[in-house]
Copies of this chain bind each other. A is one copy, B any other.
Amino acid sequence: METDIRQDVRNKIQSGNFDCAKELTLSMFSGKHKMYILWELRNGDEIHFNQFTRIIPNVSRKVLTNQLNELIQDSIIEKRDYSEGKVKRASYKLTAIGASLIPILTMMYDWGEKRIDQLRIDPVYQTKNFHPDV
State the A residues within 8 Å of B (CB).
3, 5, 10, 13-14, 18, 20-26, 29-30, 32, 35, 39, 69, 73-75, 97, 100-101, 103-105, 107-113, 115-116, 118-120, 125-126, 129-130, 132
Contacts and interface: CB of A to CB of B under 8 A. Distances in A.
B23 A35 contact: yes
A130 to B, nearest CB: 6
Contacts of A75: 125, 129
B24 A116 contact: yes
Contacts of A107: 103-104, 107
Given A104-B104, A107-B103, A129-B73, A26 B30 contact: yes
Given A39-B22, A112-B24, A115-B97, A30 B32 contact: no
